[in-house]
Amino acid sequence: MFFYNFRRQNLNEDIFPNGAAWMSGKFIKLSEARIPVLDWGFLRSDATYDVAHVWKGRFFCLDKHIDRFFKSAEKLRMPCLINRNKLKQILAGCVKNAGLENAYVEMIQTRGMSQNFDRDPRKSKPRFIAFAVPFGWILKPEEFEKGLDVAVSNIKRIPHSSIDSTIKNYHWLDLVIGMFDAYDRGHNTALLTDEENNVLEGPGFNIFSVDEIGLGTPDRGVLEGITRQTVIDLAKELNLPFNLKQLSLQKLISSKELFATSTAGGIMPITKINGQSIGTGIPGEITRKLHKIYWDKHTDPTWTSSVEDLLK
Ligand code: PLP
């Protein structure tokens, strides 16, 4: 006979990073944040989310993340009931409670749970959760010179015609299987294409190529990343030509420079595709320039907002 031992609940606390969460109207320890097994978010990936980051005590582009989160929730027909100011206070509160200077801050809305497991999604009440954990990188700063070695996966990205790729979602099985394939082949991470072999995106990042015409990034079938938009804005500021366009695998491999963009690490050079060097095989000048300006903007009040100010 198995008797549940309540003390077991706390045993796995040490697998959690330092962090704090908010749900059901209050701040809690990260290890206490949980959803019932019958939540549609868990059983059907019926959820949306967004991730902003805090660097040296300041949120970067927070309003843009909130705009995307509100839009995603609306498109999924579960508009967020928390208003912008309250949401900012919740996110800032998570960072403050966790005592973090540099943080990865996630807001989630799931479809919630319906009474008696009713199969009609309209019967459920959406659930909102937020949490903050220490900032994490797809490519650590000390690996910048080496860059990412990316494997183009045989697995195709879920098509935009099935799931609107501009809704930030947890339909990640294609990306996760792609990562396993990439690791098996000795690479750092994966890049997925569409059925026509146009390059799309990877697990948690968009992609940019640099050639003689300028910067290029896929125009469709991808999440419209906030870091992707930041690069587009910085390109305008620097008078660098850029194009939203389809990127074939051939074009990608013959690029002068390649880089990935993500909230989880910013602008990160890709120096190898399937083991083949890109350009000179080291991070290129444009990548370096954008990377520097991107991080410089992290102290600029027009791009950032202080955690402390949001709590006032
Ligand atoms: N593409 C996908 C599938 C993602 O999940 C993410 C972020 O998690 C990105 C791109 C990059 O978006 P952002 O720059 O907003 O972090």
> What is the pTM (predicted TM-score) of this model?
0.96
For ligand 1, mutation pick of 62, 174, 205 (most atoms within 8 Å of CB):
205
Which class does domain 141-298 fall in?
alpha beta
Q: Which residue has the tokens 């930030």?
A: 168
Q: Which of 53, 107, 136, 99 is nearest to 303 (CA)?
A: 53
Query: Residue with the nearest Cα to atom 13 of ligand 1?
Result: 225
Please name the residue ranges forming H helices in 117-160: none
Residue nearest to atom 2 of ligand 1 (CA): 204
- Find all residues with CB under 8 Å of 160, minimum gap 6, and list them: 220, 221
Using the mean position of ligand 1's atoms as its centre, give its distance from the Cα of residue 115 in Å.
33
Which CATH fold would you assign to the domain 2-134? D-amino Acid Aminotransferase; Chain A, domain 1 (3.30.470)
Ligand 1 atom 10 nearest Cα: 205
User: Which residues on adjacent β-strands are paired with residue 72?
Assistant: none
Confidence at residue 4, expressed as pLDDT on a 0 to 100 scale: 47
Pocket lining for ligand 1, CB < 6 angstroms: 51, 201, 204-206, 223, 225-228, 261-263
135 Cβ contact partners less than 8 Å away, ≥ 6 residues apart:
53, 54, 55, 100, 102, 103, 104
128 C-alpha to ligand 1 centroid (Å): 20
- CA–CA gap between residue 169 and residue 45 (Å, rounded): 8
Q: State the burial class of residue 306 (Cβ atoms within 10 Å of its Cβ: 0-12, 13-18, 19+).
A: middle
List the Cα angle 115/119/124 in 5-degree steps. Answer: 45
* Cβ atoms 94, 131 nearer than 8 A: yes
* 229-256 core/surface letters (b: 16 or more CB in 10 A; e: else): ebbbebbeeeebebeeebbeeeebbebe
| DSSP tag of 121 | G
Q: What CA–CA distance (Å, rounded) separates 55 from 120?
A: 41
pLDDT by residue for the chain (312 residues), tens digit each? 555 444 445 557 789 999 999 999 999 999 999 999 999 999 999 999 999 999 999 999 999 999 999 999 999 999 999 999 999 999 999 999 999 999 999 999 999 999 999 999 999 999 999 999 999 999 999 999 999 999 999 999 999 999 999 999 999 999 999 999 999 999 999 999 999 999 999 999 999 999 999 999 999 999 999 999 999 999 999 999 999 999 999 999 999 999 999 999 999 999 999 999 999 999 999 999 999 999 999 999 999 999 999 999
Report domain extents, the chain.
2-134, 141-298
Per DSSP (E only), the strands in 74-205 are 103-114, 124-134, 148-156, 189-193, 199-201
What pLDDT digit, counting tens, does each position of 124-139 carry? 999 999 999 999 999 9
The neighbouring-strand residues paired with 242 are 215
With the most atoms of ligand 1 within 8 angstroms of its CB, the residue from 60, 139, 262, 294 to mutate is 262
